[in-house]
Amino acid sequence: MKVIDFVGFSGSGKTTLVEQLVTIFCNAGFDVAAIKSAHHDIQVDKPGKDSYRFQAAGAQQVIVKNDSGWAMMKRTPLKPATLKELVSKLDPCDLVLVEGFKKEDDADLRLEVWRPGVKEEPAIYTQDKGIQAVLTEADSIAGCEIPVINLNNPRLIARFIADKLNLKSRF
């Protein structure tokens, strides 16, 4: 299983992008799972909620995580579940698209979804050398030394992921 972690501040567009990529990869014949790190109460499979959106996009497995538990609804009150622990709960699949594990580096590929002005803090990639590309509305960022990919082109992002992870391209 290849794990791709999308990090970024709340409101940057991570969920929408993951939803689009689930559809693209599923339509290309990949078996896709999704994991979400939530910082609020978990509500699973309600229309409009992230877990519902990921399933509707085609993911065969979805895990949503916050600090007090994770869904497929196993509570973890003593300590938050790690990304590695959650991935181990999944059945084998081709890709695991992960949203929001800013402080963990157990993914095969870490990408930042960044929109200037969403949060008055520097972009994560400026301080986290594990970020391998920035996904934003611009085609370039002055001084950025890693790839910058237009956030509004999810097919290009999917191709970047496939190339970076040496996936046999099916799209």
CB atoms within 10 A of CB 7: 25
Listed as own residue / partner, the contacts of 126-131 with beta carbons closer than 8 Å and 24 or more positions apart are: 128/7, 128/102, 130/105, 131/7
Q: What local confidence, expressed as pLDDT, does residue 120 receive?
A: 79
Average pLDDT, the chain: 87
Question: For residue 112, what are its two tokens?
Answer: 């930042």
Nearest partner of 35 among 100, 91, 102, judged by Cα:
100
Nearest partner of 124 among 3, 12, 4, 2, judged by Cα:
12
Nearest partner of 51 among 78, 102, 15, 85, judged by Cα:
15
pLDDT above 80: residue 170: no
Q: Which tens digit of pLDDT belongs to each residue from 24-71? A: 999 999 999 999 887 656 556 678 878 778 878 887 777 888 888 776
Q: Is 13:37 a contact under the CB 8 Å cutoff? A: no
Distance CA 150, CA 134 (A): 8
Q: What local confidence, expressed as pLDDT, does residue 75 receive?
A: 47
Stated pTM of the model = 0.82
